[in-house]
Amino acid sequence: MSLLVVGSVAFDAVETPFGKCEKMLGGSASHFSISASYFTDVRIVGVVGGDYSEAEQSVFDKHGVDTSDLERIPNGKTFRWFGRYDYDLNTAHTLDTQLNVFADFQPKLSQASKSARLVFLGNIQPDLQRGVREQVPNAELVALDTMNLWIDIARESLLQTIKGVDVVIINDAEARQLTEVPNLIKAARTILSWGPKALIVKRGEYGAALFTKDSYFAIPAYPLESVFDPTGAGDTFAGGFMGYLSSQEKLDEAAMRRAMIFGSVMASFNVEEFGTARVEKLTPAEINERFRAFKQMTNFEEIPFQKA
């Protein structure tokens, strides 16, 4: 079982009402791969600069993440993002973005990466996502993430790319923006009509929903008393979702529903500390304990209503 992620490896600087961190490992591929590594073997395709050190590499090594296809440009600088959250932790305020080596990123896949069973196309330019998709024609399942920027400036390219994937993972505002349909249910049906087998809509502190052509499945977010930093929660969710699927032989809707829970479990840990710090030190016992708590939260006794 193998899982490939193509996306960014970055340094983030974040301030929230509960503290700040001047420099931490971030980027879609980082959050995704560390989360997914608890379930399966993961490979990264990305690019970093000369400021990427052994400290960052050791995080991936500790989790068995294969970084053979992580391109290193010694005389360049790694992608950096500076952001702030107010008390509405669902909204990130970008203070500065420095693309650096990521500006000229052209994904380079080794033969091993091209042979991956599952593929996650992280939040990068849609043309690049489509180029990667074309290099993995035998992948059993390919999922895609995107953001409002690409919807604004590269919508037609994004629509073309969506037609070639199996699962789209976006948030509720992006689903509405992409389809120009205000009702989320209708927006989901529109996206599914373009070709994907499933759509996952992330709703932050309100949970997530899975749409297929024939069904709908929704889960709440795990109730937390302490939320420090939501940065990377969506990619951590995707890592848990895809990582669990990669560990399963049958990729049917039942597996996707279980994967949704594991994705939410991993995201709930992610927000408890800055960056990848909390997810880095998880144990399988902690993951399974929270999975069981999710099951208990959503379980109820079926007693049909009868009029007195």
Length of the chain: 308
On whether residue 304 sits in a domain, the answer given is: no
On whether residue 60 sits in a domain, the answer given is: yes
Q: Retrieve residue 17's tokens.
A: 């009402």
Q: Please give the Cα distance from 34 to 27 (Å, whole number).
A: 11
On whether residue 1 sits in a domain, the answer given is: no
Write the CATH number for 250: 3.40.1190.20
On whether residue 303 sits in a domain, the answer given is: no
Domains of the chain: total: 1
**DSSP one-letter string for 50-77:** TT--HHHHHHHHHTT-EEEEEEEETTS-
On whether residue 186 sits in a domain, the answer given is: yes
Query: 263 is in which domain, residue-wise?
Result: 8-297
In sequence order, the 6+-apart residues with CB closer than 8 A to the CB of 249 are none
pLDDT at 140 over 90: yes
* 83 beta partners: 14, 94
Q: Retrieve residue 94's tokens.
A: 């970008």
On whether residue 308 sits in a domain, the answer given is: no
pLDDT tens per residue across span 20-47: 999 999 999 999 999 999 999 999 999 9
On whether residue 145 sits in a domain, the answer given is: yes
pLDDT tens per residue across span 208-249: 999 999 999 999 999 887 788 999 999 999 999 999 999 999
- Give the closest residue to 187 by CA, choosing from 202, 174, 197: 174
pTM assigned to the model: 0.95
Q: Retrieve residue 130's tokens.
A: 């489509």
